A and B are shown apart, each in its own frame.
Chain A
């Protein structure tokens, strides 16, 4: 029997029809994935991270498979803010898709610029600050390790988009993820997205060199599930705002574990490339078993 229990979730000022989102970087600007995934049925699509100016991204190879997932080195290739607003955002607005716009910037002024330009627009429900991309040269684009910076940027952006859900995506590549999460909470974030990819590397045995030109890449896929659950669990004990949990989800059961660890919503990433039915299956399971939600009681 198909049941249709209410599984909507609220992040700050915004309600999403269900807690199943697609993670940034997986489905491009959203539209690209619509042939395979009915994106209007998702809680939200987090679009590919945009920066003020377009970025070419890293030279290939950019993807490398390992037995437990994949390493990537895309390097924030994106069309830039202006082209995103002009060409990409309208595509999804017309489809009534829940959109969360992922943004990254190097400097405070750039965050201000992005937030100011997006604030008056419609067609999206939230912003996700990507403060934790591991695949870029500019150290400033990976400033998610600095709690003081995280708090300041979160506050600056939230002031400009008070009526949207503001998520702060933080990196697992820190000693104390709770500290960074607390900083985002103090800055006024409506939720914490965790985790971004884990820094990893693989080597080519013939050349003795790393697979990627930049050396390290971002590791994702089933192998990071226990790391992600651990981090979400730690964050849930550090903050009281909602957590959007992700990292290695490849089944309904994996998603359930994030709710147990303390997540309010989840994002699916790498495994969607393998199983395009994954989000649909998780949404169906939650409709049937709404008790899976709100079980974040693990001590």
Chain B
């Protein structure tokens, strides 16, 4: 099977030094990092990411990719989950300190004029979907409904974050806030209540795989943003590949062909589920 892919990468990345404007905890493991936006930096489209150098490192670190959560003329906001040493160091970086970034990078969630979008954000995967919703124009899509799920209320940061977006609903696996169940169950529930033409999703791979199965089952186009370890982030080194099938089987890069893919193109059984 072959199909036309509407995903585009028009990012024109640069290498910049930003300043930390705000760095605060949103929940147990999540924090919000707000950086000054370099004047020359092109506008990051929803779905794109920046590649951050771990500051004050006393060892070798590859850069870390983070999806843009929000951006205006003055600032870029990133949603970060503390996962390892790099993100632990970044959590401590103080206001006023410099941060070295490359960006914006990667493909974007598509504009789907006249379509009703259901967006599924799991954990830190909220970022690009929030950004799409908060910056969208009337011509980008007809309606945009964002479901945001996490394990429990402590991970959701419903209170610590200024939600500038209407139409967000929450789910928790343990039912401590919002819909009880995982986000795909929540999506199924929503799907029965209202019309959906397109699904967007971003989150852990097992969630994305379940979302892809759901989208297939209901016959709705599904665009998904993946995460992976990267080195160059420019599509050059071929480190961050995933197996795809659009006619031929081949590896494509999450950094440059993605991070947003048409879910039908991904060979899901080959995607690591850890």
Binding site for B on A (CB under 8 A): 25-29, 32-33, 35-36, 48, 56-57, 59-70, 72, 74, 77, 221-223, 270, 273-274, 276-277
Q: 21 A-B pairs, CB-CB below 8 angstroms?
A: A26-B237, A32-B235, A32-B256, A33-B236, A36-B13, A48-B236, A60-B251, A63-B229, A65-B60, A65-B61, A65-B62, A66-B60, A67-B59, A67-B60, A74-B239, A77-B251, A222-B60, A270-B231, A273-B62, A273-B63, A276-B15
CB within 8 Å of A: which of B89-125?
A: 102
- Among A25, A35, A56, A273, contact of B13 (Cβ-Cβ < 8 Å): A35
- Among A32, A59, A67, A277, contact of B236 (Cβ-Cβ < 8 Å): A32
A175–chain B nearest beta-carbon distance, Å? 28
Complex CA gap A270/B237 in Å reads 10
- Among B60, B230, B234, B236, contact of A68 (Cβ-Cβ < 8 Å): B60
Whether the pair B241, A60 counts as a contact (CB closer than 8 A) is yes
Given pairs A28-B235, A29-B236, A48-B236, 15 additional interface contacts (CB within 8 A): A27-B232, A32-B234, A33-B234, A59-B243, A62-B239, A63-B62, A63-B229, A68-B59, A70-B62, A72-B231, A77-B238, A270-B231, A273-B233, A276-B15, A276-B102
Complex CA gap A108/B241 in Å reads 31
Q: Is B206 an interface residue (CB 8 A)?
A: no
Give the 5 A-B residue pairs with the shortest CB-CB distance, closest first: A28-B236, A63-B239, A32-B236, A67-B59, A273-B231
B53–chain A nearest beta-carbon distance, Å? 6
Complex CA gap A86/B46 in Å reads 34
Whether the pair B13, A223 counts as a contact (CB closer than 8 A) is no
Residues of A within 8 A of B239 (CB): 62-63, 72, 74
Whether the pair B242, A60 counts as a contact (CB closer than 8 A) is yes
Residues of A within 8 A of B102 (CB): 36, 276
Complex CA gap A59/B19 in Å reads 38
Residues of A within 8 A of B230 (CB): 63
Complex CA gap A65/B228 in Å reads 13
Q: How many A-B residue pairs have CB under 8 A?
A: 102
Closest to B15 in A: A276
Residues of B within 8 A of A57 (CB): 238, 241, 251
B17–chain A nearest beta-carbon distance, Å? 11
Whether the pair A65, B229 counts as a contact (CB closer than 8 A) is yes
- Among B61, B236, B242, B249, contact of A27 (Cβ-Cβ < 8 Å): B236
Residues of A within 8 A of B13 (CB): 35-36
Report how many residues on chain B are interfacial, defined by Cβ distance under 8 Å. 33
B252–chain A nearest beta-carbon distance, Å? 11
Whether the pair A274, B229 counts as a contact (CB closer than 8 A) is no
Binding site for A on B (CB under 8 A): 12-15, 53, 59-63, 102, 228-243, 249-251, 256, 270, 272
B90–chain A nearest beta-carbon distance, Å? 15
Residues of B within 8 A of A270 (CB): 231
Residues of A within 8 A of B60 (CB): 65-70, 221-223, 274
Closest to B105 in A: A35
Closest to B241 in A: A60
Complex CA gap A29/B249 in Å reads 21
B101–chain A nearest beta-carbon distance, Å? 11
Complex CA gap A74/B229 in Å reads 13
Closest to A79 in B: B250
Closest to A64 in B: B229
Residues of B within 8 A of A74 (CB): 237-239
Q: A273-B231, A276-B102 are in contact. Are A62 and B61 (CB under 8 A)?
A: no
A86–chain B nearest beta-carbon distance, Å? 17
B243–chain A nearest beta-carbon distance, Å? 8
B60–chain A nearest beta-carbon distance, Å? 5
B184–chain A nearest beta-carbon distance, Å? 24
Whether the pair B237, A273 counts as a contact (CB closer than 8 A) is yes
Closest to A78 in B: B238
Whether the pair A63, B240 counts as a contact (CB closer than 8 A) is yes
Complex CA gap A35/B256 in Å reads 13
A277–chain B nearest beta-carbon distance, Å? 7
B63–chain A nearest beta-carbon distance, Å? 6
Closest to B234 in A: A32
Residues of A within 8 A of B270 (CB): 59
Closest to A67 in B: B59
B10–chain A nearest beta-carbon distance, Å? 12
Whether the pair B14, A35 counts as a contact (CB closer than 8 A) is yes
Whether the pair A26, B241 counts as a contact (CB closer than 8 A) is no
Instruction: From A60, A68, A72, name the one whose CB has the most chain B CB atoms within 10 angstroms.
Output: A60
